[in-house]
Structure 1
């Protein structure tokens, strides 16, 4: 690159006028891009970022492009250090002549914050040097340390975020007690919410421990037990890829806010993982029912110890449909049995009334108290929500926030009514459904009706989990018909179960209808839990619901777990 140097007053003043015109044009360009053309104010930056001088002056060459601000003259030049109105042309011209003459000019003085430099003395020299195309300039540099780093491309408005972060770190000292913790956000005002989270956490810590909790204690405990677990969920679910441009802290606040909204709307306690999954973008064909099962048994066909395969719980949150009748409490009894086997799963009771006006009153209060008393008796965590609308529709809408739906089959329902209700439930419910009777069952002897269909495989995965995790007996039934060979189909189930170290009894039937075969085998094996898919092979689901699931429910007094 070559430069033309003006070494006379007239030429230097003309250079100044060209620089002023360029500055005016750049103002328009910056405005069009929606960005600020202002230099950063050193005093403002140091105040906001809690800066502290940490070193003496050091003479070195610095990149001119890295100079982003000024100590006192940040309004006199734009971000490119072109002169604005108010700059004396004579002084600028004299500097230009000095820099092109033999005498030269002394080094400038700057402060360094992160990657950025701020001119303490020598603003005109920097302006002329940029106009002349210099890439570096000699400077006396004083290092300034701040709570948060400063990048070269920072905009003045972005300083608000950095200032809020600096204040947050100054008060919480998280950068000291948890070095490397990154709590940056992309929206101003978010640290107010974080302060509130810490203060509330400190309050409840004091109540629980019955002592005064120091602020540092509260910050550390909040970070380790509330913040970091949610961040782990964010990374586990890959949410940063779905919400590009957002940070861990952005999503932490988003998830906790959504969790609070869900709890207020549903009347249940919701986990952070459930809230995170609810806001994660999903594809239109997503079926969440089978995912937990596949995650637990993802190494199909490998021979591994049972304890290595079953690392988690399949049913952490259980929806319990309460109909308000004495016989209907059987659903809570069976759900409580499952919750205890799942190491204290949470019970989410749901009672549906026809209209919203019936959600309150003495009867509903009595129902709430009854539910709470029974949960305490079972020594389990549970909350009953009272909603209004169509029963099956509301159950299906809320099932997405749980892992299993339990409902009681009460007497007095006609075959038509039962079939219609099941069709709606199994078509819309995104989770397995356990239909129980009024008689209490120990749920320790499973009969799996297996025909090799897609949903039968889901039932197989569930059976493997229950037999392995709960240590209960399992029998597998396959019925031969004109389209399938029972022995061939059942061999697949046998291979899967044996590869996971799970023992079972294998039964095949011929020349017997599927419903009758299930009923006969239940009696012969003394089974007390029937496990099956909502529909079978090569037939529309609505036919199979009417011809298999509904008759089994009507004719058997045993609970039926349906994978739909």
Structure 2
């Protein structure tokens, strides 16, 4: 007697079911090991948490099977990949498979759509069978459900808690109404609490400013426009989101807000979002390049003494801090090192001049050798005098105390400023061992920002009438090196922004072939519509630079920093060192 073909077919379908059931068991075991849920989502739970507001029919169409993430009533009967979890479904499942592979086929399933995700109302077994047969799409009668927060097919049960918080946040702030199309999705719990606190702070500020009650809806809209979006633009400009894969812009905004607040508490002064963001990425990015830089930096710090460190690469400050900015000012935050002597006050006067031109802020820094010297009458008097001078000049200012090696502490704080202004009381000496121990050389090598050196010389005055203090006649010493190119960038900015005369000097030693450096500088300045006087000289470099500066009545010299590695410069000396020893005018050293 021949076997019944129908019986053979049902047996084959049952075998397929049990294979699918075995895969479901393995999937659940792996879920327990990895902590990643394979549960389907409950439609009713999702609908309630995301605050559904209505629905509309979308008709019959093909939908991707991978986008089906839940079910209305049978979300416990299948895994996330619609593998059967119970053997009691065996014959029903097998029957659906026979129908699916037969001549008649199966009718469309019924689904609810929320965002890009789907939930099965009727047809769970059809979805399970279709997936096991290798299908990628299935015909479905779709009803779209409208919610404040859309879903994506990769949503997990734990994500629903965050999605629910997002829906609550939008319900309170009405930002989805006032700013349609916004995306404030996050991937970590607790983020919306931070946003709530910021919006409440914005609300209080607006109420004080306007003398009236301000609605949460109004405050949230202004917070989004004036607080949130400007920071997001910085994040986008720096491309930092690539350092944190799998995270969102709002995640990074919240972390940046918290990191910036912690930095400001630690430093005692304001930190720009750009600087805080760069620091956040350098400390916490998971990108291999960043990780290696952190490890390498720590090793280098441990084995290389300060005087032999070469510091950041040329142009790093411009790439990481200046270029991503939204404003046009170069020197918003100016750090000035104060020691209570006349040279420190002269450095402050130059810093105030820059701050007035830039509408910037002064950060005063006093470094003591021991903690005991932090709380002394002299330190209190220095701080009071600093604040008095800044207030008299109409420049906002903040003051901080540090303990430790002076050059190192200035360099550490320089990361949060745009310009460092210091007194040139002790320039690098001519002797090799003295150069090795020079704190000023260490500062120039390691400092991540341009350094404005204020020479202390006989007759130097600190009154506003002193022509030298005005910084209104600039001369750039240019040799085409990478650091000189950074100096050219700064010189072009100062001449254009401050509208001051600029002289560009190129010097070659005698009998050397004249390079095309001056032509390069001229082309660069012309492309930026910055007028300048160009001078080419041949002779001793240091002497020629100083003589030309005097002849041109320059009261601000600009040049690149050290060109050789620190060890060679200690042995051979440097033109920068010689100019620092001899100049009577402020010298802006760029890197």
| Preserved contact between residue 7 and residue 101 of structure 1 (Cα < 8 Å) | no
Structure 1 position 162, deviation (Å): 2.1
Q: Which residue, 413, 432, 442 being the options, matches 2:450?
A: 432
The residue that corresponds to 1:173 in the other structure is 174
Q: What are the Cα deviations for residues 81-131 of structure 1, in whole angstroms up to 9, with x where unaligned?
A: 454358477877898899999999997654333344434456567667777
The residue that corresponds to 1:243 in the other structure is 244
| Preserved contact between residue 275 and residue 415 of structure 2 (Cα < 8 Å) | no
| Preserved contact between residue 115 and residue 151 of structure 2 (Cα < 8 Å) | yes
| Preserved contact between residue 54 and residue 144 of structure 1 (Cα < 8 Å) | yes
| Preserved contact between residue 370 and residue 404 of structure 2 (Cα < 8 Å) | yes
Cα RMSD over matched residues?
4.2
| Preserved contact between residue 422 and residue 545 of structure 1 (Cα < 8 Å) | no
The residue that corresponds to 2:329 in the other structure is 313
The residue that corresponds to 1:393 in the other structure is 408
Structure 1: tracts of 5 or more residues without a match? 298-310
Distance 1:63 1:459 in 2: 57
Structure 1 residues 528, 125: closer, same or farther in 2, change over 3 A?
closer
The residue that corresponds to 1:113 in the other structure is 114
Structure 1 residues 356, 447: closer, same or farther in 2, change over 3 A?
same
Distance 2:428 2:132 in 1: 89
The residue that corresponds to 2:561 in the other structure is 534
Q: What are the Cα deviations for residues 213-232 of structure 1, in whole angstroms up to 9, with x where unaligned?
A: 21111111111111111111
| Preserved contact between residue 289 and residue 432 of structure 1 (Cα < 8 Å) | no
Match of 1:201, SS state, is helix
Q: Which residue, 492, 495, 502 being the options, matches 1:474?
A: 502
Of structures 1 and 2, the larger Rg is shown by: 1
Distance 1:452 1:61 in 2: 63
| Preserved contact between residue 53 and residue 142 of structure 1 (Cα < 8 Å) | no
Distance 2:223 2:214 in 1: 12
Structure 1 position 70, deviation (Å): 2.7
Distance 1:61 1:532 in 2: 67
Match of 1:55, SS state, is strand
The residue that corresponds to 1:40 in the other structure is 41
Distance 1:206 1:332 in 2: 38
Distance 2:196 2:57 in 1: 36
Distance 1:164 1:488 in 2: 62
Structure 1 residues 116, 5: closer, same or farther in 2, change over 3 A?
farther
Distance 1:29 1:60 in 2: 34
Distance 2:139 2:485 in 1: 73
Structure 1 position 355, deviation (Å): 1.8
Structure 1 residues 46, 17: closer, same or farther in 2, change over 3 A?
same
Distance 1:11 1:498 in 2: 81
The residue that corresponds to 1:301 in the other structure is none
Q: What are the Cα deviations for residues 128-177 of structure 1, in whole angstroms up to 9, with x where unaligned?
A: 77778888877765432222222334322222232222222222222221
The residue that corresponds to 1:446 in the other structure is 474
Distance 2:426 2:353 in 1: 23
Structure 1 residues 204, 367: closer, same or farther in 2, change over 3 A?
farther
Task: Normalising by structure 1, report the TM-score.
Answer: 0.81
Map of 1:203-352 to 2, 5 A cutoff? Answer: 203-281=204-282, 287=313, 289=315, 292=318, 312-342=328-358, 344-352=359-367
Moved more, 93-102 or 387-396: 93-102
Structure 1 residues 252, 164: closer, same or farther in 2, change over 3 A?
same
Structure 1 position 413, deviation (Å): 10
Distance 1:90 1:547 in 2: 88
Match of 1:459, SS state, is helix
The residue that corresponds to 1:70 in the other structure is 71
Q: Indicate yes or no: 2:177 matched with 1:184.
A: no
Task: Normalising by structure 2, report the TM-score.
Answer: 0.78
Structure 1 residues 478, 536: closer, same or farther in 2, change over 3 A?
farther
The residue that corresponds to 1:376 in the other structure is 391
Distance 1:15 1:543 in 2: 78
Structure 1 position 270, deviation (Å): 1.0
Distance 2:420 2:340 in 1: 17
Instruction: Report how many aligned residue pairs link the two structures.
Output: 546
| Preserved contact between residue 293 and residue 461 of structure 1 (Cα < 8 Å) | no
| Preserved contact between residue 50 and residue 147 of structure 1 (Cα < 8 Å) | yes
Structure 1 residues 340, 41: closer, same or farther in 2, change over 3 A?
same
Q: Indicate yes or no: 2:50 matched with 1:28.
A: no
Match of 1:212, SS state, is coil
Match of 2:470, SS state, is coil
| Preserved contact between residue 372 and residue 382 of structure 1 (Cα < 8 Å) | yes
Moved more, 326-335 or 11-20: 11-20
Distance 1:290 1:33 in 2: 41
Distance 2:485 2:135 in 1: 71
Q: Which residue, 450, 458, 468 being the options, matches 2:486?
A: 458
Distance 2:184 2:217 in 1: 17
Distance 1:103 1:479 in 2: 90
Q: What are the Cα deviations for residues 403-462 of structure 1, in whole angstroms up to 9, with x where unaligned?
A: 211112348998766882332122211222111135332211223334444433433333
Structure 1 position 44, deviation (Å): 1.1
